[in-house]
Amino acid sequence: MRKRIFSRPALICGALTSLALIAGCLPQPTSDKGGLNITVYGFSIMKESLEKAVYPGFAAKWKREHGVDVNFTSSFAGSETITNQILQGVSADIAILSIERDASRLKDGGFVTSDWRTLPNKGILNKTPFVILVRQGNPKGILDFTDLAKAGVRLIHPDPVSSGGAQWSVLAMYGSELVKSERQSGGQNKELALQTLRAIWRNVISTPGSAREARTQFETGFGDALVTYELEGLLMKETGKTPLEVVIPKATIFSEHPAVVIDRNVSAAKRPVVDAFMQYLWSDEAQKAFVKFHYRSGIDPTLNQENKHLAQIETEFTIDYFGGWNRAYPEIIEGIFRDQVQRK
């Protein structure tokens, strides 16, 4: 008897394989509906405001004025993470970053050739103060950054290696001590600020990759406190899933977020719509949308009065207090935090 080469199971396998072959073509991108497509890489907390308000707002405006659809594709992660991705060649048209240092890195890499400081408000899209989120009733009695150093406090803090928010948080905690000591004694007490930062860091139980990841960990029940952007706390209160309180430190930093065009990736054909979107970001309509999502407008502070949830900050400072990112990163994030806090 001739041995059958194609037995029943083999035939079934063959049929399955050919089926898979037919299905083996790549699925159509969800944003590929005709029209223009803008790819935006944003730092972790930008998602809601962009996807729910700013993208639809601009798409409607462009459709009204030009009759063409604009679709957005985006990816959100820690500011340092998306910067590294762009430096490796992801096809981003626009990056919205947590820290200006990342804009400089993109410029040094040759990806950004235009000067974002010539954009409205020196390229700063919006800002927000750094606050402490604690569990409802504030069981650990945390009233200021220094209380995070108390024994038994478990702190969730994003990782400064990948997260811009984490770097703002380090600057907030360290700077807050400097500002307070300066106010009391007339001089910055750098030793006290370092000791405080060290003591706080000993209480850190987890360093997630981005501010949003840190928030998710906090929401799933880990930790007593989380240092993050004010708007994260307000967004969490809105969803109401995790009962929490927002603690406003006596002195804290305002984070300022730049938006940049990745010039190297933007084709001439796409340039007009990308530029129009950049201009739109600073328009009244977009700035109002950001305020609705609890950011603060830097270009038009009067807009901020429309959001009643935004807290009064007793003493505020910015990156300028440290002499800008060019100095703050090597001196504080690397010199103080990495070398004298993390490695001790």
Partner 1 sequence: MSSMIPTMRHVRGFDVARPLSIGMLVLMMLPLVFLPLASIFLFGTSQGLTSFMESLTAPEAVFALKLSMVTSFWATLFNVIFGLFAAYVLSRYNFWGRNALIVTISLPTAIPTAVAGFALLLLWGPYGTLGRFLAPHGIQTMFTAGAIILANIFVTFPLAFGVIKPVFDTMSRSLEEASATIGATRVQTFWHVTLPSLRGAIVSGALLTFARAVGEFGSTILVSGNLAGRTQTAPLYIFAKFNEGQIEAANAIAIVLALFSFLIFSVLFFARDWLDVD
**Residue selected from 220, 302, 305, 312 as contacting partner 1 according to rule CB under 8 A:** 220
Least distance from C-beta 242 to partner 1, angstroms? 9
Q: Which residues are 244's β-sheet partners? A: 135
Candidates 136-144, 214-222, 271-279, 334-342 — which segment interacts with partner 1 by CB under 8 A?
214-222
* Site size with partner 1, rule: CB under 8 A: 37
**Residue selected from 105, 127, 215, 257 as contacting partner 1 according to rule CB under 8 A:** 215
Q: Can residue 13 be called a binding residue for partner 1 (CB under 8 A)?
A: yes
Helices (H), 220-269: 230-239
Hey, what are 108's tokens?
């040094």
Q: Can residue 237 be called a binding residue for partner 1 (CB under 8 A)?
A: no
SS3 assignment for 24-50: CCCCCCCCCCCCEEEEEEEEHHHHHHH
Which contiguous run of DSSP H or E holds residue 171?
helix 164-185
d(CA 139, CA 121): 41
Least distance from C-beta 10 to partner 1, angstroms? 6
Phi then psi for residue 139, to 5 deg, are -60, -25
Question: 41 or 290, CB closer to partner 1?
Answer: 41
Q: Can residue 23 be called a binding residue for partner 1 (CB under 8 A)?
A: yes
Question: 44 or 126, CB closer to partner 1?
Answer: 44
Question: 47 or 250, CB closer to partner 1?
Answer: 47
Least distance from C-beta 339 to partner 1, angstroms? 26
Hey, what are 266's tokens?
């933007």
Question: 13 or 205, CB closer to partner 1?
Answer: 13
DSSP classification of residue 139: T
CA-closest candidate to residue 72, choices 45, 43, 44, 51: 51
The DSSP string of 255-295 is EEEEEEE-GGG--TTTHHHHHHHHHHHTSHHHHHHHHHTT-
Q: Can residue 243 be called a binding residue for partner 1 (CB under 8 A)?
A: no
Could you tell me if 84 and 215 are in contact, meaning their C-beta atoms sit under 8 angstroms apart? no
Least distance from C-beta 108 to partner 1, angstroms? 14
Sort 61 into a burial class: Cβ within 10 Å, 0-12 / 13-18 / 19+.
middle
Q: Can residue 212 be called a binding residue for partner 1 (CB under 8 A)?
A: yes
Q: Can residue 24 be called a binding residue for partner 1 (CB under 8 A)?
A: yes
Least distance from C-beta 266 to partner 1, angstroms? 15
CA-closest candidate to residue 321, choices 191, 179, 181: 179
Q: Which string of x and - marks every residue 52-91 that binds partner 1 (by CB under 8 A)?
A: ---------------------xxxxx-------x--xxxx
Binding site for partner 1 (CB under 8 A): 3-5, 7, 9-10, 13, 20, 23-27, 29-31, 39, 44, 47, 73-77, 85, 88-91, 209-210, 212-213, 215-216, 219-220
